[in-house]
């Protein structure tokens, strides 16, 4: 659904309690050609396309697919979608290196604590990725910025649209808490530095995280960073960070 001007937010449909599957939030940036951020898991892809079409947008106008990181709940559908739309794929080169050297081995936990292997993502050929980032991204006459934000994964990357005050954080943080630092490839120290980097962006007033509700308004963004830094301070005091 349209959430802000030229920004469409498609909340995740999570069924972890039943199947062990979890899906990410997705974002579509409307333009002459659209950008899709985190297409999610493949079995939910047709539903996401239908939701995009219901908003009056043509999914075939998506020509760039950006994955904040390589976990399958965010990126499983990316390769198939890129082939379907003849779209460019974009992921940080550090994350692509992680993915192709074992990062596809991702584990989820059921509420009972049982581990379910979810190494279902198709490992793409590096040639599918047209650019190496982080850095500025010029697309459709607009400038966006991509920030390397490791911690949850070694090459996680966040999407920033300064002109709209918009930030997509992937799993660096959510509303009220930082992302997991206990998974394969996670690094607590990197996570602290990444949250600190994003907290320094003074123009952000709209945030979509990888899971959970959006954060709307500069005051709420600041309050959320207060919660994140309080959590980080507690983890530091316990020796976790």
pLDDT band at 121 (very low <50, low <70, confident <90, very high): very low
Helix (H, G, I), strand (E, B) or coil at 174: strand
Is the CB of residue 89 less than 8 Å from the CB of residue 128?
yes
Other Cβ atoms less than 10 A from the Cβ of 58: the count is 10
Mean of per-residue pLDDT scores for the chain: 85
Model pLDDT for residues 162-205, shown as the tens digit of each residue: 999 999 999 999 999 999 998 888 999 999 999 999 999 999 99
Cα-based distances in Å from 225 to 20, 86, 233: 30, 38, 12
pLDDT band at 47 (very low <50, low <70, confident <90, very high): very high
Model pLDDT for residues 48-83, shown as the tens digit of each residue: 999 999 999 999 999 999 999 988 889 888 888 998
Alpha helices in the chain (DSSP H): 16-19, 45-54, 72-75, 78-85, 93-98, 188-199, 218-237
Question: Which of 37-46, 98-107, 190-199 has the highest average model confidence (pLDDT)?
Answer: 190-199
Token pair, residue 84, equals 């379907």
Is the CB of residue 79 less than 8 Å from the CB of residue 91?
no
* E-assigned strand segments in 62-213: 62-66, 88-90, 107-109, 115-117, 135-139, 142-148, 157-161, 166-170, 173-174, 177-178, 206-209
Q: Which residues contact 148 (CB under 8 A, 6 or more apart)?
A: 92, 94, 133, 134, 155, 156, 157
DSSP state of 126: G
pLDDT of the residue at 104 = 62
Please state the φ and ψ torsions of residue 77, each to the nearest 5 degrees. Answer: -85, 0
Q: Is the pLDDT of residue 208 over 60?
A: yes
Torsion of Cα atoms, 241 then 100 then 64 then 155, to 10°: 20
pLDDT of the residue at 99 = 80
Is the CB of residue 40 less than 8 Å from the CB of residue 53?
no
Q: Which residues contact 227 (CB under 8 A, 6 or more apart)?
A: 176, 177
What is the average pLDDT across 145-170? 95
pLDDT band at 92 (very low <50, low <70, confident <90, very high): confident
pLDDT of the residue at 131 = 47
> DSSP labels for 129-140?
B----SEEEEET
* Domains annotated on the chain, with CATH: 2-237 (3.60.15.10)
pLDDT of the residue at 150 = 94
Token pair, residue 129, equals 């990725």
For residue 33, the number of C-alpha atoms closer than 13 Å in the C-beta half-sphere is 12
């Amino acid at each position: 659904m349209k959430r802000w001007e030229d920004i469409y937010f498609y909340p995740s449909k999570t069924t972890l309690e039943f199947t062990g599957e979890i899906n990410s939030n997705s974002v579509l940036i409307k333009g002459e050609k659209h950008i899709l951020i985190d297409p999610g898991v493949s079995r939910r892809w047709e539903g996401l396309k239908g939701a995009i079409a219901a908003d009056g947008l043509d999914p075939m106008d998506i020509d760039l697919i950006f994955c904040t990181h390589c976990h399958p709940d965010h990126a499983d559908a990316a390769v198939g979608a890129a082939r379907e739309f003849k779209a460019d794929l974009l992921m940080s080169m550090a994350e692509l290196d992680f993915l192709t050297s074992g990062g596809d081995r991702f584990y989820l936990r059921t509420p009972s604590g049982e581990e379910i292997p979810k190494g279902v993502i198709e490992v793409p050929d590096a040639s599918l990725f047209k650019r190496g980032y982080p850095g500025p991204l010029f697309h459709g006459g607009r400038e966006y910025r991509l920030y390397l934000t490791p911690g949850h994964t070694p090459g996680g990357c966040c999407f920033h649209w300064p002109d709209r005050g918009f930030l997509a954080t992937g799993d660096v943080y959510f509303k009220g808490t930082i992302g997991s630092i206990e998974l394969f490839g996670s690094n607590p120290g990197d996570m602290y530095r990444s949250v600190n980097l994003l907290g320094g962006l003074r123009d952000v007033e709209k945030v979509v995280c990888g899971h959970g509700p959006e954060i709307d308004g500069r005051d709420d963004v600041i309050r959320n960073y207060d919660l994140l830094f309080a959590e980080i301070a507690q983890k530091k005091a316990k020796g976790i960070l």
